[in-house]
Chains A and B, each alone.
Chain A
Amino acid sequence: MNQTARIISIYAADTSGVCSALYEYGGMTVIHDASGCNSTYTTHDEPRWYDKKSMMFISGLTEKDAVMGNDDKFIDDLVIAANELKPAFIALCASPLPAMIGTDLDAIAYAVESETDIPSFCVKTNGMNSYIYGAGNAFLDLAKRFIDKNMSHKTDRLKVNLLGLTPLDFPKTEYVNSLKSFIKESGMELNASIGMETSLIDIQKIADADVNLILSSSGKLLADYLFEEYNIPFVKGVPYGIKFSEHIKECLYKAGAEKINIDATKSLREEGSTAILGESILSASLASAVLSDYGIKANVLETVGDGDFDVLKPFDLSCDDEKILEGELEKYECIIGDPLFKPICKNKKFIALPHEAFSGRCFTKNAPNMINRKIEIF
């Protein structure tokens, strides 16, 4: 039966995706929620919470305010907090109950902006979609609000944006540093790192890039927008391993020169007896990397149920149902996935690859860095 799981975990929701995407931009992000969303996000979905300040709050919705439709209370509370904390912007998103009672967060954002003169907007969520949906829309809404197309500079090097970076897919700063090194060592210039190790200036100058590197499905909506509006092409793929990283480098130069979008994983996939579970772009990239470096043929079992399905091959599968997934996994000899999938991978060789969006902080300490280096999970 779908929507049901006996023993496996569940992916982070859209509200966490929004907060994660907007975390470092100096704004105030508020989930319209009674209680729980903030604790869940800051405990399990946000490794930056202890060491890096960000204005992440909930509204504290009550039964009475929900029943009576008392939006004025929420507006007043937003204005009071914003006047004290002076955020660069105010972003609102909804948990299930406001979505259920039809709270008009766009109107609330408009009212708050009118009152405070602080740019305010709503990111569409309902607590029932995946983190990819929330983060993707948050990046897009933030960019639409803050892109400055006049910000440009000239350089001989290829200017690259890193898109789709959130700790839900890249939980350690070390990964971002490796990506930055990869760009630099490839003779390119990092134009903007979007989501982590970033600031609002990165968003403002994002249209100054020659090419976007989409590192996860959370960056796809923004990449599409930048292609349509600013003719900036994108390359999809995470530079895992040695040979695949080199391939991504070539793809970036090619995309920049020819103004074409490239799926770097496309030509480096073959059907195999290994299954990689997880988010589509990360998993397809790993499949391409292990094929390139070790000749291991792996299929992707996309398990979020959301994201960029274009990277999937006919032999891949998108499945967010525990029972069906368990049946599918019986076909494979080896499974690479988050440790919380292990209970449904009985009698199989299981290689643990922690994914923050699935198991939170449980196994972060064991998550390997595979970016632009030898993959050592086998």
Chain B
Amino acid sequence: MLKQISLNENKIPEGVRISEIDFDNPFYDGLHYNPPARGVWNIVHTGMLIPEAHQIYVCAQGCLRGVILTAAEMNRMENMSWVALREKDMWNGEMESRVIEGCSHIVDEMEKHPKCILVYLSCMHLFEGCDFKVIAAELEERYPDIDWVDCYMTPTMRKTFEPDVMMKKSLYSPIKKLDCDEKYIGLIGCDRATDKTSEIYSLLKEAGCKMWEITECKTYEDYLSLGKASLLISYLPVVGYASSDLTKRLGIAHLPMDLSYDKDEITANLNAFASSLGLDEKTVEKITDITKKEADDSMKRALETIGSSPIAIDASATPRPIGLALLLTEYGFNVKRVYTDAFNKKERNAFEKLCKLNPDIEIYPSMDPLMLNADLETKIGESEYLCIGQKSAYFCQTGKFVNIIEGGGMYGFDGIRHLGEMMTDAFLNEKDLKLTISYKGLECESCL
């Protein structure tokens, strides 16, 4: 049953015990509140990962404002252009020509053509039944030296095609099939770098293979070299549509190895990856014997430092907040809260285990309007919480937080080791909460 959170007598929202919440429909989805934690990436940040590419947004002024200023804060306005839709464009039947002529004008104004242009269309185009194929065909004919990529800023469709999922698909759509290099593996779906200390890289080294990661591409040619990969791997959940498109177009197999905090799942993922590389399970064992112990030691050291201080986790920090809560609870940490608006379906087992192990953990939404007052519960400097993620840090008003999004590039047992170290550091070295979470797009350049 859907839960509607309520305010206590001090107007502070109250969470729901995990044992009393419906896994499939935890919270009522009403009006949306937006907490001031800006680290999560948006489609502009992701699009900027393609080297030597340019972005053009075609939408209403209100929608343009957010994406243009994202680029401005990244000091990347030279890679950003826009075409504004006005009221008349909705009725005059010229939606397609507005895109084509607007993009053409922008390209003609450039001193040098970019190698790739991402054109972002909006909800208005979708609801008008705009013919994307006509647009793409015309632009390709006018500017054959440019790879044109159709992208979508269509949040109205978020229940069927999430913007992040669509963006990931667009991110790889210029990739074309090249001669296969058996020793070349593509890691897709990650906006930020993965730890080089993770078992993924250790196995890669054992197999004599090289990794393609978009964060390491300096040129457009580097980026296109994904087309020669013999295998695609991914560990973040939003990549499914992109991987199926790449597999279909390029014929490259995809191995999903989801980010997890469950030791058996991690081992199974690493074994599957090793097998794809032609390695046996003994190789995995040799590597993980060391990383498992390091993870264990790191978590135990963190527990010694953090003790019984309450811990909160939010879903912006990791796609598996429940799995992480379970891991920490099993290590003896005092996990008190998880902030998530919905549960990842792959977390059902972890959820059920956690319900038994720690039924009093409170689940909070992050977007419910009542969360407007969540930060009033305590003052900054007085909070006892250690948080994992920016949103939980804001709601709990603590400078003691692990500043990561989407798993923080940490994977496997090595990821658990790294997370333990980050928790210890976060507990000992408080951050300036307001300043730290104000930067848009964690790890991006910022003019602020």
Contact = CB atoms under 8 A, between A and B. Distances in A.
Contact of A84 (B6, B36, B59, B64): B6
Contact of B156 (A4, A45, A63): A63
B83 A3 contact: yes
Given A16-B65, A43-B66, 19 more contacts: A1-B101, A9-B69, A10-B64, A34-B155, A36-B66, A40-B65, A44-B66, A53-B376, A58-B31, A64-B159, A80-B31, A81-B369, A81-B370, A84-B369, A96-B59, A97-B127, A127-B62, A128-B61, A362-B73
Given A7-B77, A100-B127, A13 B65 contact: yes
A161 interface: no
Interface in A262-284: none
A339 to B, nearest CB: 9
Nearest to B73: A362
B400 to A, nearest CB: 19
A11 B155 CA distance: 21
Contact of B32 (A11, A60, A85, A130): A60
Nearest to A67: B127
Interface of A: 1, 3-16, 30, 34-40, 42-45, 49-50, 53, 55-64, 66, 76-78, 80-81, 84-85, 95-97, 99-101, 126-130, 323, 340, 343, 359-363
B10 interface: no
Interface in B71-105: 72-73, 77-78, 80-87, 90, 98, 101-102, 105
A4 B83 contact: yes
Given A39-B34, A84-B7, A361 B448 contact: yes
B369 A96 contact: no
B105 A13 contact: no
Nearest to B33: A57
A10 B65 contact: yes
A242 B217 CA distance: 55
B104 to A, nearest CB: 8
A10 B32 contact: no
24 contacts: A3-B98, A4-B84, A6-B105, A7-B81, A11-B61, A12-B65, A30-B31, A36-B155, A42-B36, A43-B36, A49-B36, A53-B373, A60-B32, A62-B159, A63-B159, A77-B30, A84-B7, A100-B90, A126-B87, A128-B61, A128-B84, A130-B61, A361-B73, A362-B447
Interface in B387-426: none
Nearest to A95: B62
A55 B370 CA distance: 9
Nearest to A65: B156
Given A50-B434, A77-B31, A96-B60, A6 B109 contact: yes
Looking at chain A's contact residues, the main secondary structure is mixed
Contacts of B116: none
B160 A59 contact: no
A147 to B, nearest CB: 28
Interface string B148-181: 0000010111111001000000000000000000
B113 to A, nearest CB: 13
B63 A36 contact: yes
Sort chain B's interface into a size bin: 35 or more
Given A53-B373, A128-B61, A359-B72, A63 B157 contact: yes
Interface in B1-50: 4, 6-7, 28-34, 36, 38
B158 A34 contact: yes
B65 A6 contact: no
Given A6-B110, A9-B77, A1 B105 contact: yes
A50 B438 contact: yes
B10 to A, nearest CB: 14
Interface string B416-448: 000000000000000000100010100000011
Which residue of A39, A49, A343 has the most chain B CB atoms within 10 A of its CB atom? A39
B266 interface: no
Contacts of A95: 60, 62-63
B381 to A, nearest CB: 15
Contacts of A53: 372-373, 376
Contact of B30 (A6, A36, A81, A360): A81
B60 A13 contact: yes
A345 to B, nearest CB: 14
Contacts of B448: 361-362
A280 to B, nearest CB: 18
Contacts of B4: 80
A128 B62 contact: yes
B69 A96 contact: no
A55 B63 contact: no
Report the 7 A-B pairs with minimum CB-CB distance, sorted nearest first: A40-B66, A127-B62, A13-B62, A35-B155, A77-B30, A34-B155, A34-B156
B156 A62 contact: yes
A85 B157 CA distance: 29
Interface string B338-373: 000000000000000000000000000001011011
Contacts of A362: 69, 72-73, 447-448
Nearest to A94: B62
A360 B156 contact: no
A55 to B, nearest CB: 6
Contacts of A97: 123-124, 127, 156
A16 B4 CA distance: 28
A96 B36 contact: no
Contacts of A99: 87
A103 to B, nearest CB: 12
Given A10-B61, A42-B36, A100-B124, A4 B66 contact: no
Nearest to A61: B156
